[in-house]
Structure 1
Amino acid sequence: MKGAGAGVAHAKRRWRGLAIGVLFLVVLSMLVPLGFLLGLHNGFHSAGFMPLQHTSPSGDRSSHIDNLVRKLGPTLPKDILQGFVNEAKNETSSTNATPKSQQKKGILAPPQNVLQPLTNRNISRVTGKAGMRGGVDESEGLCELKYGSYCIWREENREEMKDSTVRKLKDQLFVARAYFPSIAKIPAQNKLSHELRQNIQELERVLSESTMDADLPPEIQKKLRRMDAAIARSKSVSVDCNNVDKKLRQIFDLTEDEANFHMKQGAFLYQLAVQTMPKSLHCLSMRLTVEYFRDHSFDKELSEKYSDPTLLHYVIFSNNVIASSVVINSTVMRARDSMNLVFHVLTDGQNYYAMKLWFLRNAFKDAVVQVLNIEHLNPDYFNKATLSHLSLPVEFRVSFHSSDNAAAMHNRTQYISIFSHSHYLLPEIFKNLEKVVVLDDDVVVQQDLSALWSLDMGGKVTGAVQICSVRLGQLQSYLGESIFHKNSCSWMSGLNVIDLVRWRELGISQTYWKLVKEQVSMKGGSALLASLLTFQDLIYALDSEWVLSGLGHDYGVNIKDIKKAAVLHYNGNMKPWLELGIPKYKVYWKKFLNHEDQFLSECNVNP
């Protein structure tokens, strides 16, 4: 009996445990929906299911904000995220102000909609800061913040408009002039007509004296407001729209004519700046000339090296003191051995004494410099009238159409520099020399050039860098109907190795002058044609890394190519010693200029 009673008690305990388990499950099934109803779950995020972890009944959501920033970081700009964080934290601080009575009851504040859809947020065009609709000045203009949108790119790359007030004044004057004739015809608007005329005259006077915002008078804002008010009243008056339209078209035509005039004037002034020697360089030449005649102690000759064919001879045609000085200085500084270097500078009578004194005052290591006045030379078989002055390398700006797409049109404008008349005097001037290297005065040497004297040119007369992007066939309009190989590449002066022995054997100078006489009727193209035809099939193509051209006109030259090139050629109008030279290329030229020279500082020479 005792065993049977124990079994019954054991069965009762087992059923009691099952009943408690079932009751627990029922209570748990009721608590889960209750938890959702009481806000114990965060809901769903657009990127997936993310439960919020509440650290305290106060509803502190700082950790939630940080999680959102980390998840949205890769897709939103930093300034937008910062604005979002500030807004959300401010909202959190306001949420923390929940009445204590609610906290005591255990009632949590309903979750706020922290992150709104991205299309409901806007950015100010002026400040570029993120904000909610209605939270920023709508008058400043808003645009939607969408990932990769033009709006965001525009704000990040916005540039401040210069002289915006002057531009606004011109716009106001344009509109006022259009309305004034129609308003003046209405007798009832005499007061408005007088006000318009007065404002127009005031703005015309201001714009005649000021071209920048910095030049405007202090009371200009009052004038702007008065003109705005007058224009607004004029627009509210019923006028003949045809008259206003006609006047607008007249003003537009006048403005277009004025723009064309200024464009032509700008082009003329640009050419004047290119072709005219700057005042500072003219001062330098004059000061050196005066100093030369004041002190003859500088006048000394080192003629023992000038005619030695075993040395390395460089020839430079120039009338620019600092340009030729930079060429020589850069060549000497990059040479392994300057003992064997001889430079011959050929200039005109006006700059001869300035050049002579400059190169006697300045030492270039162990190299020697000879200055020659080309006007003192008297060649036997040339026309002396033609050679009475120095002629520098000639530059031709050639443009031609391409069968490629329009994007390639930019690459079809080239500056080709060729030999001048003076270059064809070389065999007569240097009768004892066998080989020379001719350098233009707009080059900078970056590597040792001694290897040029060991080149085997295979019977060719001159070594030059060829430009196969410009072939002779593409220069048909410049060369006329002469006989030439249309597929031949054009070539450049700047760095040229000349075999004077071969030059004399083939009579290159006589051939050139014969072609010049035949093409004398051609305007501008005779020198280009004569040089290209004279050396046809006689050019030894140098490696393209010897010379890099285009630094005087092309803004897109690769910096890596500049550092690799042995010689930099500033062919084009924007020479490095001019103010209009391309700034990012000037540094390679200026570092070979002696800025500490007394005459440079006195004449304010600072290219």
Structure 2
Amino acid sequence: MRRRAAEYRRPARRRFSYWIWLLLAFSSILALLLFLLQHNHHHQDPLHHPLSERNARVEHFAKEGFNFTEEILSVTSFSRQLAEQMILAKVYVVIAKEHNNLHLAWQLSSKIRSCQLLLSKAAMTGEPVTLEEAEPIIKSLSFLMFKAQDIHYDIATTIVTMKSHIQALEERANAAIVQSTVFGQIAAEAVPKSLHCLNVKLMSDWLKMPSLQEFSDERKNSPRLVDNNLYHFCIFSDNVLATSVVVNSTVSNADHPKQLVFHIVTNGINYGAMQAWFLNNDFKGATIEVQNIEEFHWLNASYSPLYKQLLNPDSQTFYFGAYQDLNDEPKMRNPKYLSLLNHLRFYIPEIYPQLEKVVFLDDDLVVQKDLTPLFSLDLHGNVNGAVETCLEAFHRYYKYLNFSNSIISSRFDPQACAWAFGMNIFDLVAWRKANVTTRYHYWQEQNADGTLWKLGTLPPALLCFYGLTEPLDRRWHVLGLGYDLNIDNRLIESAAVIHFNGNMKPWLKLAIGRYKPLWDKYVNQSHPHLQGCVTS
């Protein structure tokens, strides 16, 4: 019989032997791998704990030195990537809502919330966002934003939307700034409850104690009030406690307090309270006179342009009415800028016709050194001794006055140095000779429409005392404690007078905490009325 060809034979036994060899080879390789893994594991064990400790130390150091602000600004951080993704996602949320795709907007908002939670956690725990935490959110946000782009929310649409929303945010921010300024101005103008309480108690004393009024009448005729061998200071204020601090700090730091004479002028509402306070308290033997501005009958509309402006209904509505237009600068609406008490400083020679020299003090300052050397300073024939404020470029005439008006530009140098009002030594003999008050009346009449300057007493003073001001050493008068948080301590310590000009007055809760103790130490905290008003 003929044999079949080789290709037709069944290879059953040979196939079986091949499978056996393959299984044996696979088992050998697997055993070798297990052996190698176990061998490596034994060699790595001794290094495991030191490496863990080192990682723990690195993590501890990172946590201690972690700064979330630096983290979110770092180009390589996951926090920054999340923040940037979140900003872009918010834009797409707005676009999706505008196209009525609420489902996509909801998806994006959900991922934005997850992103915010992760960033909040990083800020609270002090640990940076890791790749494991950030990657799922970044991927999902990227997917949703690609999805938004596929629905024709193209780059041009995104840019236009972002621009419109940036503009809207800027408008909201500006409105918030204006509103904050308005609220700050209202708070600065408000009388604290404790001060109002003190005025009420003092007024009650004035009305119930006739002996105080008799004592006041006796003081009015004191020859010390017109003695030019003494040192005279004038303060015009309706704030009893603030005026008390000025007087107390002045006498406390004077070498010879009994040689000081204080001339205080207040309004009719606070006259009784002011008298009661200064008659019932001793200020180291200093002489103190309190006058009522309403008894200055010569100060009337026929004499004073300012008085005439006060009677103008439009002026009264603007300064004493409610805030109506947020476009107006809130500071301009402060009634003090158009009050007789505030402008009374231009009438000092008329109020004290027999005096030759006087130091004018604002009620929002503290005296830290003896001020009597001011009276012996040589003013070189000038009327006003003041500290110049043009060390900073913006304290020059052109910042206070309207030099586009020819009346101003033809007479004054726009780069002339401005000076501080609030602690000034006035030579009243030179004042009368130069007719400064007449100059003041002229400029007030020229500015009846408010086109030469906007507010305050400094702009007209710069005009009236132009060429008549003697610059004083800067240490006599340091300003800014009512708004500047960064005044050098050495400058404050060397100052004869520190001035809380600005809205953050030391008797308000708005006061800057760093400077407030400088004022507080001259408040008579032991006075029963003050104690009762603080606790009431």
In the superposition, the TM-score normalised over structure 1's length comes to 0.56
The question of 1:472 aligning with 2:472 is answered: no
Q: CA deviation at 1:546?
A: 1.2
The Cα offsets for residues 300-348 of structure 1, whole Å up to 9 and x where unpaired, read as 2223132233221110011111111110000010011111111111111
Seq. identity, %? 33
Q: How many residues align?
A: 407
Q: What is the aligned partner in structure 2 of residue 585 from structure 1?
A: 515
- In the alignment, residue 488 of structure 1 is paired with which amino acid? A
Q: CA deviation at 1:533?
A: 2.5
Q: What is the aligned partner in structure 2 of residue 372 from structure 1?
A: 291
Residue 355 of structure 2: which of 406, 420, 433 is its match?
433
* Alpha-carbon distance between aligned partners in 2 of 1:600 and 1:241, rounded to the nearest angstrom: 71
* Alpha-carbon distance between aligned partners in 1 of 2:53 and 2:175, rounded to the nearest angstrom: 57
| Alpha-carbon spacing, 1:185–1:573, altered in 2? closer, same or farther (3 Å) | closer
Residue 517 of structure 1: which of 439, 445, 451 is its match?
445
Residue 259 of structure 2: which of 340, 345, 348 is its match?
340
The question of 1:242 aligning with 2:161 is answered: no
Within-5 A mapping of 1:28-43 = none
* Alignment check: 8 A CA contact 1:553 1:574 kept: yes
| Alpha-carbon spacing, 1:282–1:235, altered in 2? closer, same or farther (3 Å) | farther
Residue 275 of structure 1: which of 173, 186, 189 is its match?
189
Q: CA deviation at 1:451?
A: 1.3
Pairwise CA RMSD:
4.7
Larger relative contact order, structure 1 or 2 (CA cutoff 8 Å, min sep 6): 2
Q: What is the aligned partner in structure 2 of residue 383 from structure 1?
A: 303
* Alignment check: 8 A CA contact 1:123 1:129 kept: no
Q: What is the aligned partner in structure 1 of residue 331 from structure 2?
A: none
Q: CA deviation at 1:496?
A: 1.1
* Alpha-carbon distance between aligned partners in 1 of 2:228 and 2:309, rounded to the nearest angstrom: 28
Any gaps of 5 or more consecutive residues in structure 1? 1-92, 98-111, 131-139, 142-149, 155-166, 201-227, 391-416
* Alpha-carbon distance between aligned partners in 2 of 1:276 and 1:313, rounded to the nearest angstrom: 31
* Alignment check: 8 A CA contact 1:183 1:234 kept: no
- In the alignment, residue 439 of structure 1 is paired with which amino acid? L
Q: CA deviation at 1:364?
A: 1.0
| Alpha-carbon spacing, 1:174–1:368, altered in 2? closer, same or farther (3 Å) | farther
* Alignment check: 8 A CA contact 2:304 2:441 kept: no
* Alpha-carbon distance between aligned partners in 1 of 2:238 and 2:308, rounded to the nearest angstrom: 14
SS at match of 1:274: helix
- In the alignment, residue 187 of structure 2 is paired with which amino acid? A
* Alpha-carbon distance between aligned partners in 2 of 1:234 and 1:532, rounded to the nearest angstrom: 66
The Cα offsets for residues 579-605 of structure 1, whole Å up to 9 and x where unpaired, read as 222221112111111122223233339
- In the alignment, residue 308 of structure 1 is paired with which amino acid? D
- In the alignment, residue 278 of structure 2 is paired with which amino acid? F
SS at match of 2:234: strand
Residue 600 of structure 1: which of 507, 515, 530 is its match?
530
Q: What is the aligned partner in structure 2 of residue 561 from structure 1?
A: 491
* Alpha-carbon distance between aligned partners in 2 of 1:182 and 1:426, rounded to the nearest angstrom: 67
Q: CA deviation at 1:193?
A: 9.2
More helix by share: 2
Q: What is the aligned partner in structure 2 of residue 36 from structure 1?
A: none
| Alpha-carbon spacing, 1:365–1:524, altered in 2? closer, same or farther (3 Å) | farther
Q: What is the aligned partner in structure 2 of residue 349 from structure 1?
A: 268
* Alpha-carbon distance between aligned partners in 1 of 2:309 and 2:258, rounded to the nearest angstrom: 32
- In the alignment, residue 421 of structure 1 is paired with which amino acid? H
Q: What is the aligned partner in structure 2 of residue 359 from structure 1?
A: 278
- In the alignment, residue 203 of structure 2 is paired with which amino acid? T
Q: What is the aligned partner in structure 1 of residue 500 from structure 2?
A: 570
| Alpha-carbon spacing, 1:493–1:328, altered in 2? closer, same or farther (3 Å) | same
| Alpha-carbon spacing, 1:195–1:596, altered in 2? closer, same or farther (3 Å) | farther
| Alpha-carbon spacing, 1:501–1:241, altered in 2? closer, same or farther (3 Å) | same
Q: CA deviation at 1:560?
A: 0.6
Q: CA deviation at 1:257?
A: 4.5
Rg comparison, structure with higher value:
1
| Alpha-carbon spacing, 1:124–1:180, altered in 2? closer, same or farther (3 Å) | farther
SS at match of 2:361: strand
The Cα offsets for residues 242-276 of structure 1, whole Å up to 9 and x where unpaired, read as 29959888776665544443232212112222233
- More divergent stretch after superposition (517-526 vs 449-458): 517-526
More strand by share: 1
Q: What is the aligned partner in structure 2 of residue 284 from structure 1?
A: 198
- More divergent stretch after superposition (452-461 vs 583-592): 452-461
* Alpha-carbon distance between aligned partners in 1 of 2:426 and 2:288, rounded to the nearest angstrom: 19
Q: What is the aligned partner in structure 1 of residue 14 from structure 2?
A: none
- In the alignment, residue 472 of structure 1 is paired with which amino acid? Y
* Alpha-carbon distance between aligned partners in 1 of 2:447 and 2:179, rounded to the nearest angstrom: 33
Within-5 A mapping of 1:47-66 = none
Q: What is the aligned partner in structure 2 of residue 28 from structure 1?
A: none
* Alignment check: 8 A CA contact 2:242 2:363 kept: yes
In the superposition, the TM-score normalised over structure 2's length comes to 0.63
| Alpha-carbon spacing, 1:249–1:513, altered in 2? closer, same or farther (3 Å) | closer
| Alpha-carbon spacing, 1:179–1:321, altered in 2? closer, same or farther (3 Å) | same
The question of 1:127 aligning with 2:48 is answered: no
* Alignment check: 8 A CA contact 2:400 2:459 kept: no
Residue 376 of structure 2: which of 431, 454, 460 is its match?
454
* Alignment check: 8 A CA contact 1:461 1:502 kept: yes
The question of 1:549 aligning with 2:479 is answered: yes
| Alpha-carbon spacing, 1:250–1:534, altered in 2? closer, same or farther (3 Å) | closer
* Alignment check: 8 A CA contact 1:552 1:572 kept: yes
| Alpha-carbon spacing, 1:384–1:605, altered in 2? closer, same or farther (3 Å) | farther
SS at match of 1:549: coil
| Alpha-carbon spacing, 1:351–1:387, altered in 2? closer, same or farther (3 Å) | farther
* Alpha-carbon distance between aligned partners in 2 of 1:115 and 1:490, rounded to the nearest angstrom: 66
* Alpha-carbon distance between aligned partners in 2 of 1:331 and 1:585, rounded to the nearest angstrom: 18
